Amino acid sequence: MPVSVFDLDLPTLDLLDVPFDQAQSVMRDMASEHWIVRNPFGFTVLRYDDVAAVLRDKRWHNAAGALPQMMGITDPEFLARDRVSILSAEGEMHTRLRRLVAPAFSPRAADRLRPFMREVINSLVDPVAALGRADIVSDICEPYPIPIICELLGAPKSDWQLFSRLAEDVLRIFNGNVLEELPIIMKAQDELDAYTRELIAERRSKPADDLITALIAAEEAGDKLDTEELVMMVSAVIVGGTDTTRNQLGCSVALFAEHPDQWAMLVDRPELASRAVDETMRYFGAVRGTGRFASEEIEYRGIVFPAGTMLMPSLAVANRDDNVFADSGTFDITREPASQPHLTLGSGIHYCLGASLAKAELQEALPILAKRMPNLRIDGDITWKPSNVGIFGPQHLPVTFTPTN
């Protein structure tokens, strides 16, 4: 007779005030005993096979739509504008959106931006290379993704500052004091939507070689995205593709700073860039977990999950599962690819749409940083973002290195 998950005798994971490192080791320890534990919102899934199974089961719906409520947002105006985004869409609606937009996010589309990515990262290193010291977060990670998103979308260079300001304000949603900043966030979202509508109108009459044009042209069996869906997609690219990339770059460099031999190896063997990116994302991913709720009653492993049950699949703990990644606690950029991928980019139907772009951005940035910032060392203390916000990474990452030109 299957038993309800609520009747199981499970330990509770409540890590709200526990420092990040400690929280990770508590979770990893728990994973050796339990595949699922309680948390204040529902349950946390800890092992690779179970995290992957939940993410690949379409009956578990994305909890992104419930995030504003979970953050304590009650502003009726904000909640009322809750439009369906590709991240929160499910079923037919998601399948249709994904089918229409996926070709525009192909590896080839990302590859076309690689020379530009190198240009951007070099321009950010230029002012600090000869100094031999930098704050990796404010000097490199923060400014890196916005010009790339602008170039991807096809926003004219003259608008980059405006675009960057609006994106920054919209991204305050991840800052931790969202309640205070809600008016700024909503105003920026309105301005960004208006700006995007103009850009779409322009591209409809004058197509260019950019993502907006590709999304306008995207068509399958006579079906096309309408203007509101195009505006939503641009917003999803900004929200999904900016803070994630910055924080992942920060996590990756912080990790390398603790492993100088691996940093040096990346200089000698830049062909390892692709493996290095996957390994840093596996070992220290910026997106630590995600959220799902049961859209109907679900039975899994002989356990009943009533409709509405909230699950947090822990991508980070799953990425350290020894059953999938041999010697998972060792950071090794020469690691042979495992039989299954790391989960920092998700899995299943919501697998990161920008995965090729994200990987390309990191694959271009890391070898250039390694070459131009040799003998990288942490200079003082790293301060970290609060670990209870969705995307984790360093807030300040002061480093010294051997000056270069």
Q: With contact defined as beta carbons under 8 Å apart, do 133 and 400 qualify?
A: yes
By C-beta, is 129 or 148 nearer to ligand HEM?
A: 148
The string of DSSP codes covering 286-310 is SB-B--EEESS-EEETTEEE-TT-E
Q: Which H or E element spans position 38?
A: strand 36-38
Shortest separation between residue 312's beta carbon and ligand HEM, angstroms: 10
User: Angle at CA 238, nearest 5°, toward 233 and 242?
Assistant: 145
By C-beta, is 33 or 226 nearer to ligand HEM?
A: 226
CA–CA gap between residue 361 and residue 142 (Å, rounded)? 13
CA–CA gap between residue 106 and residue 111 (Å, rounded)? 9
Tell me the Ramachandran region of residue 302: left when phi exceeds 0, alpha when psi lies from -120 to 50, beta otherwise. left
By C-beta, is 129 or 287 nearer to ligand HEM?
A: 287
Q: Which H or E element spans position 135?
A: strand 133-135
C-alpha to C-alpha distances, 185 to 24, 180, 181, 401, nearest whole angstrom:
31, 10, 6, 37
C-alpha to C-alpha distances, 120 to 75, 113, 156, 167, 280, nearest whole angstrom:
39, 11, 16, 18, 21
Residue 378 DSSP SS3:
strand
By C-beta, is 361 or 401 nearer to ligand HEM?
A: 361
Q: Nearest to residue 286, comparing CAs of 321, 324, 240?
A: 240
Structure tokens at 86: 């590709």
Shortest separation between residue 205's beta carbon and ligand HEM, angstroms: 25
By C-beta, is 51 or 129 nearer to ligand HEM?
A: 51
CA–CA gap between residue 125 and residue 134 (Å, rounded)? 9
Shortest separation between residue 362's beta carbon and ligand HEM, angstroms: 6
Shortest separation between residue 335's beta carbon and ligand HEM, angstroms: 18
Shortest separation between residue 304's beta carbon and ligand HEM, angstroms: 23
CA–CA gap between residue 254 and residue 263 (Å, rounded)? 11
Shortest separation between residue 91's beta carbon and ligand HEM, angstroms: 12
By C-beta, is 67 or 304 nearer to ligand HEM?
A: 67
Give the residues lining the site for ligand HEM (CB under 6 A).
62, 86-87, 98, 236-237, 240-241, 244-245, 248, 286-287, 290, 344-346, 350, 352-354, 357-358
> 4 pairs with which residues across the strands?
304
Shortest separation between residue 231's beta carbon and ligand HEM, angstroms: 14
By C-beta, is 124 or 281 nearer to ligand HEM?
A: 281
Shortest separation between residue 376's beta carbon and ligand HEM, angstroms: 20
Q: Which position's Cβ is nearest ligand HEM?
A: 354
CA–CA gap between residue 214 and residue 209 (Å, rounded)? 8
**Around Cβ 72, how many Cβ atoms within 10 Å?**
8
- Using CB atoms within 10 Å of the CB of residue 299, give its burial: 0 to 12 exposed, 13 to 18 middle, 19+ buried: exposed
By C-beta, is 244 or 328 nearer to ligand HEM?
A: 244
Q: With contact defined as beta carbons under 8 Å apart, do 116 and 392 qualify?
A: no
By C-beta, is 132 or 348 nearer to ligand HEM?
A: 348
By C-beta, is 83 or 187 nearer to ligand HEM?
A: 83
Shortest separation between residue 252's beta carbon and ligand HEM, angstroms: 9
Shortest separation between residue 282's beta carbon and ligand HEM, angstroms: 11
